[in-house]
Amino acid sequence: MKQVFASYLLSNIRLGPLALIAMVVALLMLLPMAVIVATVFTGSLDVWRHLFETLLWDYLGNSLLLMIGVGFGVLIIGVPAAWLVSMCDFPGRKFFTWALLLPLAMPAYIIAYTYTGLLDFAGPVQTLLRDFTGWQYGDYWFFNVRSLLGAVIMLTLVLYPYVYLLSRAAFLEQSPSILEVGRTMGYGNRTGMLRLALPMARPAIVTGLTLALMETLADFGTVQYFGVSTFTTGIFRTFYGFGDAAAAAQLASVLLGFVILLIALERYSRKQARYHTVKGRSVNRICLTKGKALLAIWVCVFPLLFGFFIPAAQLLYWSLFEAVIGDSFATLAWNSFYLASAAALIAVACALVLAYAKRSYHRKKLVKLSVTVAGTGYALPGTIIAIGVLIAFAAIDHYLIGLIKQWFDVDVGLLLSGTLAALLFAYTVRFLAVSLGGIESGLQKIKPNVDHAAQLLGYKPFQVLRKIHMPLLKGSVLTAFLIVFVDVLKELPATLILRPFNFNTLAVRAYELASDERLIDAAPASLLIVLVGLVPVILLSRSITVSNKHVLNKSAKK
């Protein structure tokens, strides 16, 4: 057994530096999750018992209700909208096709702050209502946004694009011949959709749903602000309130269980989706007129208006006319931008190493596994990663301090914990998959034979990289950088937990101001985050309209 292991190790040591670096990166990416899993077995039973007797059921119940509500919400918004823009024709369809993605730019916590400001007692809506009716405080009932239902609505409004995006792609990929076969068998447009198109798109819809649910589980800002106790707020409170990292980690491990379930569901449905896609010519859209067209427009306008335009307009108004912009705003923006740039650079560099290792050693299972493993962080809520990093870095610090004290008799204090290094590491774990996905798909488009052809024409491997890969990969690398950059800018819980003392970013400042009930002053920081967040959304919507044209061109040629 030992020998087998040793020879296995040896055969992989011979792989060369690229593969080794890739494996080290993968191991590092696993560290936070490993720490959390380890606490399940090492943590004290007392903490578990305490959790069981008190808050666990509260967290569990709220998290489940939240997931059910958001799941329901994103389905009834995302699927019909996707069906309408992909299978029907009505005024404004082209605009809605890309515009329906806009709410992706809106972090859930920001939309939550905005609607609270809009709808609370002193907000414009209720003020208007009172002015209009003459009612006083207590005379009337008004919907309280800061509730579980409110959180469900907020999350639904910004997460439905996942379902919309994936089911739209599925509808477009369906061969129209299948629907035509249905029509020859007597299924009209409506029954055809229910009996054929919808079941065929189901795997894609489920994939979109699981992505939305993962984001729901990971959400911290919204539920925290609305006072809904879920796992993420529980972890945060246990950690800050009681200073109990072990208990926080144990709570995180329960959350991790949920996430793993969702990942399994997502992987499964993705596999199914592959069997269902059939390439065909593009659809003959059903032309909607009058009442039906109006209904279709409303179905698309509703999520767009409430998920993007109303909150964005409110943020803009506050920022321009009412907010007090502090002196520190420039510093905040600078902090956010350089932190996000640094994290994006690291993530892109790691992704390049991993993607090239996988390409060069595609026959080595261990290398392939490393690359897969390195990308699992995307599914983990920032809270889990933050707690994992915190515990791991504290342990490393502890060890190093002891070592240095023993050798040099100097007390150096904390080395890694509470530094930007910890924060950057957590970001890399969380967002590596994002950059990896983009770079891998870019690299896959360069077929191995393209390298071989260049080599046979007399180019050395390094020259092949420069002459072929650099020009072909430039776009993917830039896009990957940009997406990680924006994701880091929006990230809240990991930043809150791991940031160095007195170090603030736009997201953290918005959170702090909102927590102090200074919603209007939080607007400028929020608006800046939304504006920067628009960039990848615009890129995404451009790429889907381009691929649309591509499909059309292809069918026109035929």
Partner 1 sequence: MEKLIASLVQLSLENVTVGYDGIKIVHDVSLTLGSGQIGCLLGPSGCGKSTLLRAIAGFEPVMQGEITMEQQLLSSPTFTETPEARKIGMVFQDLALFPHLTIAENIGFGLRALSKLQTAARVTELLELIGLSGMEHRYPHSLSGGQQQRIALARAMAPKPKVLLLDEPFSGLDASMREQLVPEVREILLQEQMSALLVTHDQMEAFAMADKVAVMHEGTIVQCDTAHTIYHEPNNHFVANFVGEGDFLGGIVLNEYDVQSSLGVLSASEPHAFAVSQSVRILVRPDDLLHDDDSDTKAKIVSKQFRGSHFLYRVKLESQQELYCFASSHHDHAIGEDIGIKLDLDHLVMFEEGAS
Among 125, 472, 535, 538, binds partner 1 (CB under 8 A): 472
Q: How far is CA 261 from CA 72, 197, 217, 254, 431, in A?
A: 18, 27, 12, 11, 20
For position 551 contacting partner 1 by CB under 8 A, the verdict is no
Which region among 102-110, 144-152, 465-473, 502-510 touches partner 1 (by CB under 8 A)?
465-473
For position 14 contacting partner 1 by CB under 8 A, the verdict is no
Between 410 and 457, whose beta carbon lies closer to partner 1? 457
For position 452 contacting partner 1 by CB under 8 A, the verdict is yes
Long-range pairs, 365-369, Cβ under 8 A, ≥24: 366/12, 366/23, 367/15, 367/19, 367/22, 367/23, 369/26
Between 453 and 546, whose beta carbon lies closer to partner 1? 453
Find the shortest distance in angstroms from Cβ 374 to partner 1.
Answer: 24
For position 468 contacting partner 1 by CB under 8 A, the verdict is yes
Among 187, 268, 337, 459, binds partner 1 (CB under 8 A): 459
Between 287 and 453, whose beta carbon lies closer to partner 1? 453
For position 366 contacting partner 1 by CB under 8 A, the verdict is no
371, 19 Cβ separation under 8 angstroms: no
For position 186 contacting partner 1 by CB under 8 A, the verdict is no
Q: Tell me, what amino acid is at 50? A: H
Find the shortest distance in angstroms from Cβ 450 to partner 1.
Answer: 4
Q: Helices H, strands E: what count in the chain?
A: 26, 2
What is the rounded CA–CA span in Å between residue 268 and residue 531?
A: 35
For position 455 contacting partner 1 by CB under 8 A, the verdict is yes
For position 471 contacting partner 1 by CB under 8 A, the verdict is yes
Find the shortest distance in angstroms from Cβ 356 to partner 1.
Answer: 17
For position 460 contacting partner 1 by CB under 8 A, the verdict is yes
142, 126 Cβ separation under 8 angstroms: yes
Interface map 382-401 toward partner 1 (x if CB under 8 A):
--------------------
Interface map 403-442 toward partner 1 (x if CB under 8 A):
----------------------------------------
Question: Per the structure block, which two tokens stand in for 162?
Answer: 């996942």
Q: How far is CA 499 from CA 234, 276, 372, 437, in A?
A: 19, 45, 28, 27
Residues with Cβ within 8 Å of residue 65, at least 6 apart in sequence:
148, 152
Which region among 21-29, 452-460, 508-516, 541-549 touches partner 1 (by CB under 8 A)?
452-460
SS3 sequence of 392-408: HHHHHHHHHHHHHHHHH
Which region among 24-32, 381-389, 446-454, 510-518 touches partner 1 (by CB under 8 A)?
446-454
Residue located via tokens 């101001």: 513
Between 252 and 454, whose beta carbon lies closer to partner 1? 454
Between 416 and 450, whose beta carbon lies closer to partner 1? 450
Site for partner 1, residues 76 to 95, rule: CB under 8 A: none
What is the rounded CA–CA span in Å between residue 347 and residue 353?
A: 10
What is the rounded CA–CA span in Å between residue 103 and residue 305?
A: 9
Among 108, 454, 496, 507, binds partner 1 (CB under 8 A): 454
186: region left, alpha or beta (phi > 0 left; psi from -120 to 50 alpha): left
What is the rounded CA–CA span in Å between residue 65 and residue 59?
A: 10
502: region left, alpha or beta (phi > 0 left; psi from -120 to 50 alpha): left
Between 184 and 449, whose beta carbon lies closer to partner 1? 449
- Tell me, what DSSP letter sits at residue 505? -
534, 546 Cβ separation under 8 angstroms: no
**β-strands 286-287, 88-89 pairing:** parallel
Which region among 118-126, 468-476, 491-499, 523-531 touches partner 1 (by CB under 8 A)?
468-476
For position 457 contacting partner 1 by CB under 8 A, the verdict is yes
For position 367 contacting partner 1 by CB under 8 A, the verdict is no
Residues with Cβ within 8 Å of residue 200, at least 6 apart in sequence:
170, 174, 178, 276
401, 415 Cβ separation under 8 angstroms: yes
Site for partner 1, residues 113 to 172, rule: CB under 8 A: none
Between 42 and 463, whose beta carbon lies closer to partner 1? 463
3-state secondary structure of 287: strand
For position 449 contacting partner 1 by CB under 8 A, the verdict is yes
For position 277 contacting partner 1 by CB under 8 A, the verdict is no
For position 558 contacting partner 1 by CB under 8 A, the verdict is no
375: region left, alpha or beta (phi > 0 left; psi from -120 to 50 alpha): alpha
Between 134 and 458, whose beta carbon lies closer to partner 1? 458
For position 456 contacting partner 1 by CB under 8 A, the verdict is yes
Between 320 and 453, whose beta carbon lies closer to partner 1? 453
Which region among 123-131, 321-329, 402-410, 456-464 touches partner 1 (by CB under 8 A)?
456-464
For position 369 contacting partner 1 by CB under 8 A, the verdict is no
Residues contributing to the site for partner 1 (CB under 8 A) = 363, 447, 449-450, 452-460, 468, 471-472
